[in-house]
Amino acid sequence: MGIDVAAGVAVTGAADGVRPPESFVSGPGVFLRGLTEPVDGLVLAVPEQWFDAAGAARREALYGELAEGLGMPLRQFVPRAVAAVASLEQSSGGHLVCRLEADGVVAAVCGVRGRSVTLCGVEWRAASAGPPVGSPREPQNPQEARRAALLLSRARVQARYRAAPLCLPREVTAGAVLDAFAPVEQSLRSALLPLLAGLTASEGVTQVLLDGGLRRHPLAGAAVQEAATGAPVCVLEDHAAALGAFLVARGTVRIPETARHRLSLRVHRVHQGLLTEAELPLAVPGGPVTLSLQGSGRGPVQEPVRESVQKPVQESVRDGAHDATVDVPDGHRPEVLIRLGDTEIRVPSPALRPGRYRLGLHSAGNGPGVLTLRPEDGGETVLLPLSGPAGARTGDTE
């Protein structure tokens, strides 16, 4: 199953193929509780803004609700733009996704290579306050569409056309449409400028994909082409991101989520009466970023592990089918090591309640991501941003 969380759309499949998309308004948890069939795999398409360190709190809240609360096999979170590209059958190349909404825009470049889609860069901007903006009704015939396009193009440069009605008999003038769309277009240009400037030759844009509530606006395609590229423009369907997430869940398309840093949790083990230092691996460069870290497959560790002689910590790494866990005593602050080449950074966590914690990771758009410490007793998950301030919790969403 694939779900576009922001749009409230789910796509499921069966032996006979892909089923029509289903819309919901009460959140993915309510929708999943109402299902009568089992879910073999679940992938969630979520806003690109959720892939910074602060946004990890939103992903973790969904993980707690769906994976832990409902027992859903949640495999991956993917950016909506990447999921939308994954929904299309296309050759390798760069695809520019522009999501246009009345309150802001998102622009993302996604690279396609074979069955894999990756995010090459993303920018988002809020739209400044302005008159209400919406898509005028779509022309009923090609002649009317050509008239509207011609009128708008002339009204952009010649003031005398601004008072002309855009689509007869409705009294919406070309000038009113231009004024309402202007803040969105300005935000789009602001997002595209740094995004396209940072692309390499191998990431050149071969197709533009329009998404969002204003994707069919008569000015949308021209605004993107003028600001970005002469590549052909395609308008996405409402369920594109949900369909792409479904294809990822099925295994038809891959959206790799790999670590760029070597991460480990520093622990000390008392072995035969001696204090020895050890590291619990969390991630390796090029390896997966897993929502729930798994044990090493060597069975439970029976010996106590100590952060210091006075602060016993028992590392409990179970077999490969279970989560990796650590026991934390009162007042203890575990420490994460981040390595990139020869550089090592030590990131201490905030003070934790004593108890056993299961470990997981959330990726981030830049940096090593966010470590999660999930109390086995059902307490509030602690989020440790590995490139920023420590101590966020699942209730922190800003």
pLDDT at 255: 93
Give Rg (Cα) of the chain.
25
Q: How does pLDDT run across 252-264, given as a tens digit for each residue?
A: 999 988 888 888 8
pLDDT at 329: 79
Helices (H), 116-237: 142-157, 174-197, 220-227
Query: Is 297 a residue whose pLDDT tops 70?
Result: no
Q: How does pLDDT run across 309-345, given as a tens digit for each residue?
A: 233 344 443 334 467 888 887 877 778 888 877 788 8
Query: What is the identity of the amino acid at 139?
Result: P
The most confident of the ranges 22-26, 287-291, 297-301, 308-312 is: 22-26
Would you place residue 300 in the very low, low, confident or very high pLDDT band (cuts 50, 70, 90)?
A: very low
Note whether 223 and 98 are within 8 A (CB).
no
Give the integer Cα–Cα distance in Å for 359 and 117.
27
Query: Is 158 a residue whose pLDDT tops 50?
Result: yes
pLDDT at 267: 67
Q: What is the DSSP letter of 128?
A: P
* pLDDT-above-70 percentage for the chain: 83
Higher-pLDDT residue of 243 and 262 is 243
pLDDT at 156: 87
Which pairs count as long-range contacts for 129-132, CB under 8 Å and 24+ apart, including other chains? 129/183, 130/179, 130/180, 130/182, 130/183, 131/176, 131/179, 131/180, 132/102, 132/180
pLDDT at 314: 41
* pLDDT-above-90 percentage for the chain: 38
Higher-pLDDT residue of 396 and 257 is 257
Query: Is 210 a residue whose pLDDT tops 60?
Result: yes
Higher-pLDDT residue of 342 and 116 is 116
pLDDT at 316: 40
Give the integer Cα–Cα distance in Å for 387 and 56.
13
Query: Is 208 a residue whose pLDDT tops 80?
Result: yes
Would you place residue 238 in the very low, low, confident or very high pLDDT band (cuts 50, 70, 90)?
A: very high
Give the integer Cα–Cα distance in Å for 141 and 36.
43
